[in-house]
A = this chain, B = another copy of it.
Amino acid sequence: MELAVGVIGTGNIGADHARRLATRVAGARVHAVFDLDGDRAAAIAAEVGAVALRSAEEVVDDAAVDAVLIASPGDTHAALALACIAAAKPVLCEKPLATTTEECWKVVEAEAAHGSRLVQVGFMRRYDAGYLVVKQEIDGGRIGEVLLAHCIHRNQSVPPSFTSDMSLTDSVIHEIDTARWLLTEELVAATVVPVRRSPLAAEGLLDPQLVLLEAASGAVVEVEVFVNCQYGYDVRCEVVGSTGTASLEIPTANVVTTAGARSQPVPVDWRLRFGAAYLEELQHFVDAVRAGGVAGPSSYDGYAATAVAESCVRSLKEGQRAQVTLAKRPALYETA
């Protein structure tokens, strides 16, 4: 039987997810959608062959909905995830799991109390072909012991509402999860370093920022986040081990040579760069749920990422290194 998914939030990401579920994911269909913008929800519902319901709660409670995808604004995530857990429904929750560490922890506790995994957090990079190769090189011992990593996260531009904190909680949070996943260890401290502001950044926005994440082993992950780089969406990393390095560059096989230059295209945005990863993520979620479980990035991963991002925000505010304190990982998440 096809998995009937309810999609909460039909903004850019939610609509993309709904379309992918409807047209590219095997074994799934969109049964219901909800968005505060009712017209938007109705249009997407019509497009993907679903019904538009009147509230997020209706989506969760709809008996015909087998699983839920949360793509509404971040501050609604925790309550919705908790509702899904209460309803014992599998849920794929876009990052962040919640906007505060406390809320994240409530989700973790609720799921742990439930006794089995219901929540997957939308850290889609773990499904990206390039990152998977980096992970495989590290785990295979090809570069020795990991000592440090250099990460770059650049966006062409951001809307005027984007804040310095959001660079950390919305953008760097991907690097945080990636670091935890690649290094297979926790991050214990974060330092945000002030950098010369881009004259093209909106007033009040500190951009770029340099972030130093310290892992339990002493390994340091250095992250540049720059959300007004102008030229495109550029996410790269180099993980430095004791005997070699593993790098992820911009994926492309195309070169055009004209007018004195060999050029390779840089993607315009994350939808182009990570479209295939989002599809893998969704298929993986649907497959796991149909097979009776939930896997992938857990609510504990979502909790830890938000905790580190919060330390980043604190470091930015206080102008000094901020420690990360994590509650003990419940047994449910021990075999991740």
Contact = CB atoms under 8 A, between A and B. Distances in A.
A147 B231 CA distance: 15
Contacts of A224: 148, 150, 222, 240
B142 A242 contact: no
A28 B210 CA distance: 47
Interface stretch (A68-76, A161-169, A249-257, A304-312): A249-257
B196 A220 contact: yes
Interface residues of A, number: 76
Given A243-B231, A264-B262, A133 B254 contact: yes
A210 B197 contact: no
B257 A248 contact: no
A254 B260 CA distance: 13
A212 interface: yes
A134 interface: yes
A148 B196 contact: yes
Interface string A47-67: 000000000000000000000
Given A25-B26, A196-B218, A287-B23, A231 B244 contact: yes
Contacts of A129: 253
A245 B197 CA distance: 15
A134 B254 CA distance: 7
B261 A24 contact: no
A258 B238 CA distance: 13
Contacts of A194: 218, 220
A46 to B, nearest CB: 17
A278 to B, nearest CB: 14
A276 B279 CA distance: 12
B266 A263 contact: no
Contacts of A228: 242
B253 A249 contact: yes
A27 to B, nearest CB: 8
Contact of A246 (B144, B256, B268): B256
B254 A208 contact: no
B26 A258 contact: no
Interface of A: 22-28, 129-130, 133-134, 137, 142-148, 150, 152, 193-200, 208, 210, 212, 215, 217-220, 222, 224, 226, 228-232, 234, 240, 242-266, 268, 276, 283, 287
Given A147-B195, A232-B257, 18 more contacts: A133-B265, A134-B254, A137-B254, A142-B256, A145-B196, A148-B196, A150-B150, A193-B212, A195-B220, A229-B240, A230-B242, A230-B259, A231-B258, A246-B256, A247-B254, A251-B253, A252-B253, A261-B264
29 contacts: A130-B252, A133-B254, A142-B258, A143-B258, A144-B199, A145-B196, A147-B195, A147-B197, A147-B208, A147-B226, A148-B196, A148-B210, A148-B224, A150-B150, A194-B220, A195-B218, A196-B215, A208-B240, A230-B243, A230-B259, A231-B243, A231-B261, A232-B257, A232-B260, A245-B257, A249-B255, A257-B266, A260-B266, A262-B264
Among all A-B residue pairs, the 10 with the closest Cβ atoms? A244-B258, A196-B218, A251-B253, A130-B253, A261-B263, A247-B255, A196-B219, A133-B254, A198-B242, A263-B263
